[in-house]
């Protein structure tokens, strides 16, 4: 019994903590058309597309602010990509010259120059509970 | 649900790679910006200068966001002259007590001067762009403009966040659109002048820059360009008379500078790229200040095949700056002729229209009207002055029925270097006849600053010799706006009819007439 308790205690110490909570508030959804899509990326590799994002959320859009919460996440470096797929075609539409024609945003409200923002501009440390307030770029 | 998730992952990754959008200006602290507003001394400086120079009243901010009134008419109004003159121009130059640092920055105000048997009625409303609405709500300038960097600017992630729809107006396929330099048309209801919203010719072209001087052929076919100098990209538009996209094209070239106007012939599109070149900057600077005048470089002329936008060639002229062209045509032998108001450099834009906003008048290089000739057989280009050497010109217009075709007359605003007006602006309206080489001119009194005048052909005649010249002027002494009508064949005789509004409007830019 004592040995079993020792093993359980050891496991508790060695397993990383999956106890962090990320709350994302999308502040300015202008129409209730289509879906809000969030990509929660844990580490730069997920941003680069080297592996799947840790989690993705797709939810019917509601006009006004929408709040998303993801719990039991491991602590570490994160970034979020948001898009409002207004016409529900599953992608971020862009116009003839490549300017997105649907609302989009990144964590820290980062914007890029001639493309998406750099990882360093969108990344944040998740530890405990964190709220990211994000403004969609229309 | 799982397939949706996979699709989302796949497409957002693709979106990241492919959506090569170009935030023109990033958010942040503009401490290093060249023209950041900071403590606004400009409004104060302008006000002080206005007291000493009352003619500056044409550059005051509009005190209201809409106007309406009936004009008092003197003289004999021509019976056949019925319809609506729509005009556009920067009008709200100040927000929350802060004054813009460039004349081209102010929110556009669209005017309708309606001519009917009942007289002349005027109506004007601010074009409620996205930028205007957001800034009205905030009570401050939020987004950078053409020539001003506000404090703590919001990021500009698409050209339309800077769009103030303040340069010109386009009536086309039953729609009325207020146009800016490098963004979407903004649709306005032609009767009420209420803003309808951003206009897109097709979903693919939504938000693609559409310049302020589209060329419309007599059959309604429309051509235009748009540019994104930060991406060295030029876009070409071909739209039919019903407003349907026929085709669009992209031309990449380093550099794409800041073209403002262009011309079209029966076979070609001709654009002028003066060496006002975009310079990528890490500092927060307004759009205009991201361009550098490089006079040792040529002004490049782009000639594009109307039928196939992938077919084009570049020609060169000595460095020069042209804001506006009159018209172009191409003869059977393949020779293109077009005219434009040529200056040695863009100081009128880079200095003059900036200093005016603080009530100072910096000299700028005058413009001289030139005729350009391109021989498409051997791809040579030449230019020659069209008028006497003491005549300065701008705002050339033609009978819209000869757009892209051979033309015989240009109506333009002029002035003489030998007898400048007290206000220093162009102070004459002139009609130039190619055949006789004669320039017929009416000089406005110094108490009035004339704006662009249009050539309105008589509906009873197909000739370019019959019709009227119609234009507005700001009377800084009486604080009124006057609209004058001239006989096209006797401009020098002065106006045959004058309509005077009971108030004055800020000086504006371009207009179009719609016959009723």
The answer to whether the beta carbons of residues B95 and B137 sit under 8 Å apart is: no
B160-190 pLDDT, tens digit each: 999 999 999 999 999 999 999 999 999 999 9
Residue B40 has pLDDT above 80, yes or no: no
Q: Which residue of B has its CA nearest to A114?
A: B22
* Farthest CA pair distance, chain A: 69
What's the rounded Cα separation, in Å, for the pair B65 and B447? Answer: 26
pLDDT at residue B325, rounded to an integer? 98
Tell me the pLDDT band of B6, cut-offs 50, 70 and 90.
very low
Contact B246/A at CB under 8 A: no
Measured between beta carbons, the chain A residues lying within 8 angstroms of B22 are 98-99, 113-114
Q: Does residue B109 carry a pLDDT above 80?
A: yes
Torsion angle, alpha carbons of B55, B61, B65, B68, to 10: 0
Least Cα distance to B95 among B139, B41, B128, B134 occurs for: B139
The answer to whether B318 and B298 have CB atoms below 8 angstroms apart is: yes
Percent of chain B with pLDDT over 90: 83
Phi, psi of A121 (to 5 degrees): -80, -25
Mind listing the pLDDT tens digit for each residue in B448-478?
999 999 999 999 988 888 999 999 999 999 9
Tell me the CB-side half-sphere exposure of residue B509, using CA atoms within 13 A: 26
**Short-list B247, B176, B165, CA closest to B212:** B165
Contact between B21 and A49 using a beta-carbon 8 Å cutoff: no
Lowest mean pLDDT among B127-136, B275-284, B330-339, B490-499: B275-284
Residue B332: which residues within 8 A CB-CB, separation 6 or more?
A: none
Q: pLDDT tens-digit profile of B361-418?
A: 877 789 999 999 999 999 999 999 999 999 999 999 999 999 999 999 999 999 999 9
Please tell me the distance in Å from A14's CA to the nearest CA on chain B. Answer: 31
CA distance B503 to B96: 24
Q: Which residue does chain B place closest to A58, by CA atoms?
A: B5
- Of A49, A97, A112, nearest to B228 by CB-CB distance is A97
B19–A115 C-beta distance less than 8 A:
yes
Q: Which two tokens stand for residue B384?
A: 């020659």
Q: For B189-235, how does the pLDDT look when each residue is reduced to its tens digit (9 = 90+)?
A: 999 999 999 999 999 999 999 999 999 999 999 999 999 988 899 99
| The predicted structure's pLDDT at residue B19 | 38
CB contact under 8 A, A114 and B8: no
Q: Which residue of A has its CA nearest to B24?
A: A113
- pLDDT for res B16: 38
- Which residues in chain A (32-71) have CB-CB distances under 8 A to chain B? 37, 39, 47, 49, 52-53, 56, 58
- The ipTM (two decimal places) reads 0.83
pLDDT exceeds cutoff 50 at B306: yes
The mean pLDDT value of chain B amounts to: 92
* Residue to substitute from A30, A95, A136, interface B, most B β-carbons within 10 A: A95
What pLDDT does residue B89 have? 98
Contact list in A for residue B238 (CB cut-off 8 A) is none
Identify the band that residue B292 occupies on the pLDDT scale cut at 50, 70 and 90.
very high
Residue A124 has pLDDT above 60, yes or no: yes
Q: Which of B3, B8, B206 to mutate to test the interface with A (most CBs of A within 10 A)?
A: B8
What band does A106 get if pLDDT is binned at 50, 70 and 90?
Answer: very high
pTM of the model: 0.90
Interface of A with B in 64-123 (CB under 8 A): 81, 83, 90-101, 104, 109, 111-116
Q: Is the pLDDT of residue A107 over 90?
A: yes
Interface test with A, best of B4, B12, B232 (most A CBs within 10 A): B12
Q: Spell out which residues of chain A touch residue B208, defining contact as CB-CB under 8 Å.
A: 95-97, 99
Q: Residues B31-47: what's their mean pLDDT?
A: 69
How confident is the model over A36-65, as pLDDT tens digits? 999 999 999 998 888 888 899 999 999 999
CB contact under 8 A, B19 and A92: yes
Q: Which residues of B touch A114 (CB under 8 A)?
A: 20, 22, 230-231
pLDDT in tens, B10-35: 434 334 333 334 445 555 543 333 45
Q: Which of B2, B15, B246 to mutate to test the interface with A (most CBs of A within 10 A)?
A: B15
Cross-chain residue pair B19–A90, CB shorter than 8 Å:
no
Q: Which residue is listed with tokens 């077919």?
A: B311
The confidence score (pLDDT) of residue A114 equals 63
Question: Strand A64-73 and strand B439-443: pairing?
Answer: unpaired
For residue B154 the two structure tokens come to 């919001």
| Contact status, residue A75 vs residue A127, Cβ threshold 8 Å | yes
Sign of the Cα torsion A49, A55, A59, A62 reads: negative
pLDDT recorded at residue B462: 87
Beta carbons of B231 and A90 less than 8 Å apart: no
Share the mean pLDDT of chain A.
87
Question: B449 near B407, Cβ under 8 Å?
Answer: no
Q: Tell whether the model's pLDDT for residue B275 goes beyond 50.
A: yes
Residue A11 has pLDDT above 60, yes or no: no
Better-scored residue on pLDDT, B164 or B287: B164
- Please give the pLDDT value at position B411: 98
Q: Return contacts of A48-52, CB within 8 angstroms, 24+ apart.
A: A49/B13, A49/B16, A49/B17, A52/B9
Residue-level pLDDT at B349: 95
Out of B9, B22, B230, name the one closest to residue A53 (CB).
B9
pLDDT at site A1: 45
Is residue B280 pLDDT above 90, yes or no? no
> Is the CB of residue B69 less than 8 Å away from at least one CB of chain A?
no
Q: Do A81 and B248 touch (CB under 8 A)?
A: no
Determine the average pLDDT of the residues in B272-285: 88
Average pLDDT over residues B93-116: 96
Per-residue pLDDT at B179: 98
- Nearest chain B alpha carbon to A36: B8
> Which candidate from B14, B21, B248 shows the least CB-CB separation from A99?
B21
Q: Tell me whether residues A112 and B5 touch, CB distance under 8 A.
A: no
Cβ of B18 within 8 Å of Cβ of A94? The answer is: yes
Cβ-proximal residues to B186 (8 Å cutoff; 6+ apart), any chain: B108, B127, B129, B163, B165, B177, B178, B179, B180, B195, B197, B198, B199
Higher pLDDT, B20 or B114: B114
Q: What percent of chain B has pLDDT over 70?
A: 92
Distance from C-alpha of B236 to C-alpha of B226, rounded to nearest angstrom = 6
Q: What distances in angstroms separate CA B302 from CA A109, A124, B273, one per listed residue?
A: 39, 48, 8
Contact B27 A95 (CB under 8 A): no
Considering CB atoms only, which of A93, A97, A109 is closest to B250?
A97
| Average pLDDT estimate for A104-119 | 87
User: Cβ of B117 under 8 Å from any chain A Cβ?
Assistant: no
Task: Check CB contact under 8 Å for A99 and B207.
Answer: yes
Other beta carbons within 10 Å of A112? 20
Q: Closest Cα of chain A to B22: distance in Å?
A: 4
Closest CA to B346 of B275, B411, B281, B405: B275
- Which residues in chain A have their CB less than 8 angstroms from residue B17's CB? 49
pLDDT, residue B229, reads: 85
pLDDT score for B20: 38
Nearest to B21 among A49, A90, A94 (CB): A94
Cβ–Cβ gap B9/A114 under 8 Å? no
pLDDT attached to residue B279: 86
Taking the CA atoms of B362, B442, B412 and B63 in sequence, report the sign of the dihedral they define: positive
Q: Rounded CA gap, B491 and B410, in Å?
A: 12
């Amino acid at each position: 019994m004592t040995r079993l308790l020792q093993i359980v205690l050891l496991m508790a110490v060695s397993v990383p903590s999956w106890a962090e909570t990320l709350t994302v508030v999308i502040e300015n959804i202008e129409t209730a058309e289509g879906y809000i899509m969030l990509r929660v990326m844990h580490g730069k590799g997920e941003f680069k597309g080297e592996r799947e994002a840790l989690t993705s959320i797709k939810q019917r859009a509601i006009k006004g602010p929408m709040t998303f919460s993801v719990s039991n996440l491991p602590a570490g470096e994160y970034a979020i990509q948001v898009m409002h797929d207004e016409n529900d075609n599953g992608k971020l539409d862009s116009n003839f010259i490549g300017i997105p024609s649907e609302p989009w945003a990144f964590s820290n409200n980062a914007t890029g120059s001639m493309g998406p923002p750099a990882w360093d501009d969108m990344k944040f440390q998740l530890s405990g509970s964190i709220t990211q307030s994000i403004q969609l770029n229309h | 649900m799982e397939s949706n998730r996979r699709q989302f992952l796949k497409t957002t990754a693709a979106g990241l790679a492919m959506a090569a959008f170009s935030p023109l200006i990033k958010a942040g602290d503009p401490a290093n910006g060249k023209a950041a507003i900071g403590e606004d001394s400009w409004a104060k400086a302008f006000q002080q200068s206005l007291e000493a120079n009352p003619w500056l009243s044409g550059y005051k901010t509009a005190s209201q966001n809409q106007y309406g009134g009936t004009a008092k008419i003197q003289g004999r109004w021509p019976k056949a002259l019925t319809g609506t003159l729509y005009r556009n121009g920067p009008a709200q130059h100040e927000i929350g007590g802060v004054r813009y640092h460039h004349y081209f920055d102010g929110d556009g105000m669209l005017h309708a001067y309606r001519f009917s048997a009942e007289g002349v009625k005027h109506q004007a409303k601010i074009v409620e762009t996205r930028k205007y609405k957001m800034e009205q709500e905030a009570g401050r300038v939020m987004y950078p403009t053409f020539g001003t960097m506000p404090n703590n600017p919001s990021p500009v992630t698409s050209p339309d966040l800077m769009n103030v729809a303040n340069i010109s107006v386009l009536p086309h396929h039953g729609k009325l659109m207020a146009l800016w330099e490098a963004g979407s048309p903004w649709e306005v209801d032609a009767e009420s002048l209420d803003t309808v919203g951003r206009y897109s010719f097709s979903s693919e072209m939504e938000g693609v820059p559409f310049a302020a001087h589209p060329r419309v052929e007599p059959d309604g076919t429309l051509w235009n360009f748009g540019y994104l100098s930060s991406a060295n990209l030029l876009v070409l538009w071909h739209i039919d008379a019903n407003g349907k996209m026929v085709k669009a094209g992209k031309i990449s070239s380093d550099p794409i500078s800041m073209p403002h106007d262009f011309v079209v012939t029966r076979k070609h599109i001709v654009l002028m790229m003066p060496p006002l070149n975009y310079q990528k900057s890490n500092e927060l600077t307004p759009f205009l200040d991201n361009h550098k005048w490089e006079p040792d470089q040529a002004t490049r002329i782009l000639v594009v095949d109307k039928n196939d936008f992938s077919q084009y060639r570049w020609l060169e002229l000595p460095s020069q700056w042209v804001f506006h062209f009159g018209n172009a045509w191409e003869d059977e032998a393949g020779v293109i002729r077009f005219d434009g108001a040529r200056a040695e450099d863009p100081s009128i834009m880079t200095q003059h229209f900036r200093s005016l906003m603080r009530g100072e008048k910096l000299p700028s290089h005058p413009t001289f009207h030139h005729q350009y000739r391109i021989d498409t057989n051997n791809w040579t280009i030449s230019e020659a002055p069209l008028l006497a050497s003491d005549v300065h010109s701008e705002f050339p217009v033609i009978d819209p029925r000869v757009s892209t075709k051979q033309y015989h007359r240009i109506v333009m605003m002029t002035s003489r270097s030998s007898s400048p007006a007290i206000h220093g602006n162009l102070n004459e309206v002139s009609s130039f006849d190619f055949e006789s080489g004669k320039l017929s001119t009416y000089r406005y009194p110094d108490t009035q600053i004339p704006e662009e005048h249009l050539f309105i052909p008589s509906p009873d005649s197909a000739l370019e010799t019959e019709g009227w010249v119609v234009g507005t002027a700001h009377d800084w002494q009486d604080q009124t706006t006057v609209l004058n009508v001239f006989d096209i064949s006797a401009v020098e005789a002065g106006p045959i009819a004058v309509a005077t509004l009971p108030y004055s409007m800020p000086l504006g830019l371009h207009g179009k007439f719609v016959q009723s």
